[in-house]
Amino acid sequence: MTLKAGWAALALAATGCVAGGPASLPASVQAAAANYPPMILGGNVHPTDGHEVPPACAAAGTSVAQKGGPDFEFLGADPSNPELCVMKVGGETVKAWFDIWVTDWPGADDGHAALRQVINGPSGSIAGFDTSMTTGNQWHDLVRNDGVEDIALLGKAYRALKISHYREGANGNNYRSVSTIWKDFPSGVLLYGTYQHIAGRPEIDDPLIPTAIVTGK
């Protein structure tokens, strides 16, 4: 199962997650942080102090159809935790932190912590951690709050929190990519996503290009 928005790249075991500015990152990801493509503010992208955040979970009744599928149907928060969201992806029911990190992915607890800290932080906040799946599949991962963007989709204006994820291979793995997701104010729905492949293999996923967006009642 894939979220087809570049965030499948996060589905790996994560350890040592720390959020803040670059100086607060674990030593193991400092070099990778220096290679993170810069955050660009200006135009339609505005800084945020972290005071305003989108809902953790899109409300029941929200859905996004996307080019090439799978489609998303958002079912609201799980009663056990307001940051744990229930959703259907291509008809399969899953639970995901912030509608982004599926709970049965390895590293779900650290992914949850990373996303919470970045989403609730000011623009430029970075969470860094190392991931390891198998020999040859090890990475340095960074997630960043890239500000608030006014984005036009399907003839409608949206205001969304822009969250990027930079992945750089470790221990001889030369993979590098940047995935970015836009999480809507005030609905919390995942509106749009991009995937920029820089180097190495695999080219993990396609962008999230919506063909229809329905907000919850």
Contact 10, 213 (CB under 8 A): no
pLDDT at 208: 81
Start-end of H helices in the chain = 27-35, 108-119
CA distance 79 to 93: 16
pLDDT at 60: 93
Assess whether pLDDT exceeds 60 at residue 176: yes
CA distances from 145 to 46, 102, 112, 192, 215 (A): 11, 20, 15, 15, 23
pLDDT at 68: 81
| Tokens of residue 23, six digits | 């100086």
Assess whether pLDDT exceeds 50 at residue 9: no
Candidates 6, 44, 56, 50; CA nearest to 152 is 44
pLDDT at 21: 56
Model confidence over 31-87: pLDDT tens digits? 898 999 999 898 899 999 999 899 999 999 999 998 888 899 999 999 999 999 999
Assess whether pLDDT exceeds 90 at residue 205: no
Model confidence over 104-135: pLDDT tens digits? 876 677 788 888 989 999 999 999 888 777 77
CA distances from 200 to 31, 83, 164, 167 (A): 18, 33, 19, 11
Residues 100-107, mean pLDDT to the nearest whole number: 78
pLDDT at 104: 82
Model confidence over 133-173: pLDDT tens digits? 777 788 888 889 999 999 999 999 999 999 998 889 888 88
Q: Half-sphere exposure of residue 195, counting CA atoms within 13 Å on the CB side?
A: 18
CA distance 1 to 140: 23
How sure is the predictor about 217, in pLDDT bands with cuts at 50, 70 and 90? low
pLDDT at 8: 36
pLDDT at 10: 35
Beta carbons within 10 angstroms of residue 3's beta carbon: 27
